Amino acid sequence: MRGALMKTVVGGVQWAVFLFASSIAAPIAIAHVFGMDAAETGLFIQRTMFVLGIACLVQAIAGHRLPINEGPAGLWWGIFVVYAGMVGIAYPTGEDALQALQSGMLISGALFILLAISGLITKMKDLFTPTVTFTYLMLLILQLSGTFLKGMVGVESAGDKIDGLLFLGSFAVVIVTFITMNHIVSWVSRYSVLLSIGFGWILFMLIGKAENVNLQSGQWVRLPELFVYGKPVWDSGMFITAVFITLLLIANMMASIRVMESLLKQSFSITPPDRMKQGSIASGINHLFAGVFSAIGPVPISGAAGFVGATRMASLKPFIAGSVIVISMTLIPSIMSVFAVLPAPVAYAVTFAIFSKMVEMAFHELDAEPKRDRSYKVAAIGLMIGVGIMFIPQESMSELPHAVSAVLSNGLITGTVIAILIERFYISREKHAVE
């Protein structure tokens, strides 16, 4: 009994560390583009991580009930950056733009729930075939690999030089992560992420590449504030944007659930029940939380499958424990200040190794497709368009409507949608040929 409890607690700590390491970059980057000071940035990180912890619990208890951590939605991240550029043009101040974004989360949450109740979510699930899932996974990996590598060598902008010492430290973390993930001792592989982050943090302290922790004094517990940027407002542009973003986030959610279901079946002989509708309602509730707490909208992260595959932790108990730990940590300023100085290259290096598992999963998905010739054609076009869009500068789309630019500037979503449309076309043509 005590051993099982210890396994759940340690597994929960590992989930909590993984959630922080994979999610903390988004609120920091958004705070930067909006010119927030250190105190405002800390509170924005607190609210975002608090919402992510709540979102994980909601999904685990009443949603899809799979061990998939929630992270800041990349689509919302992009929209935040777009709206930061509109300050002084469409919005007088950054707070006005953030108020509109806060309202957009509430709109998106309501749409998630309405689409789930109407039954459209269930019909959309059939669109995510092995071919589409393969295309989605490969685009996700290709899109993020550049970010991981740049973070590992300390390159943040075009003029930055590669930091050799940082690269060697990151490379060492990657090697250790691969070794622990594939270790013959079960507990080492199970807690590989936690061990690798601990090793990386100590290594970066020794080579002088880790910041000192400044523990906040005074306040022991701090609750996140509500509607930080004011009451919800009606913004027609944000409404249109929220509609597009919600539809794309549904596609993202379905792909993440589909990937995890496939992993559980292939690697753990677990066949989870179909809870796509409940997962969508939970995502709607989570977006409502994001709006109320003035945070970034969450979405189930596909990388969770790589994490579960690497750690062999398919149980929900450690995942729920990790969610509770995250929520608890966000309420204690001193603990938040510790995680705020986690060396970013360490997080990138560990995540890089985890995502290598996703490449294997992608090809396993393709192997499950019986119509191989059709699958190759669909994947080829989806990948070419998706990757091609990744090379088009976002500035080139600045003249387009915000909702359109948000969609077209995201190669992951655009490539996946194209793959779905092309596969539907081929399937329809094959049916007509048979008739």
d(CA 146, CA 59): 30
Instruction: Please say whether the beta carbons of 134 and 263 come within 8 A.
Output: no
Q: What does DSSP say about strands 70-72 and 298-300: parallel, antiparallel, or unpaired?
A: antiparallel
Two tokens, residue 148: 């991981």
Residue spans per domain, the chain: 2-434
Contact 346, 37 (CB under 8 A): no
Global pTM? 0.74
Residue type at 175 in one-letter notation: I
User: What stretch of H or E contains 210?
Assistant: none
So what's the pLDDT on residue 218?
Answer: 63
The stretches of 207-312 forming alpha helices (DSSP H) are 236-268, 276-292, 303-311
Burial class (CB in 10 A: 0-12, 13-18, 19+), 37: exposed
203 within 8 A of 173, measured Cβ to Cβ: yes
For 22, the token pair is 């994979």
pLDDT at 340: 66
pLDDT tens by residue, the chain, 435 residues: 666 788 888 889 889 988 887 787 778 778 877 888 877 888 888 999 999 999 999 999 999 999 999 988 877 876 787 788 778 877 889 899 999 999 999 999 999 999 999 988 777 777 878 898 888 888 878 887 887 788 888 887 677 788 889 999 999 999 998 998 888 887 787 777 778 888 998 999 999 888 777 666 567 888 899 999 999 998 877 887 788 778 878 888 888 898 899 899 988 889 898 888 999 999 999 999 999 999 999 999 887 888 888 888 889 999 999 999 999 999 988 777 776 677 878 878 887 887 777 788 788 878 888 888 899 999 999 999 999 988 887 677 767 776 677 667 778 778 888 999 999 999 898 887 766
Q: What is the pLDDT of residue 431?
A: 82
Q: What's the confidence (pLDDT) of residue 174?
A: 92
| 254 and 125 Cβ atoms separated by less than 8 Å | yes
Q: Is 71 helix (H, G, I), strand (E, B) or coil?
A: strand
DSSP codes of every residue in 305-329: HHHHHHHT---HHHHHHHHHHHHHH
What pLDDT score was predicted for residue 406? Answer: 64
pLDDT of residue 128: 77
How far lies 25's CA from each of 29, 222, 341, in Å? 6, 22, 11
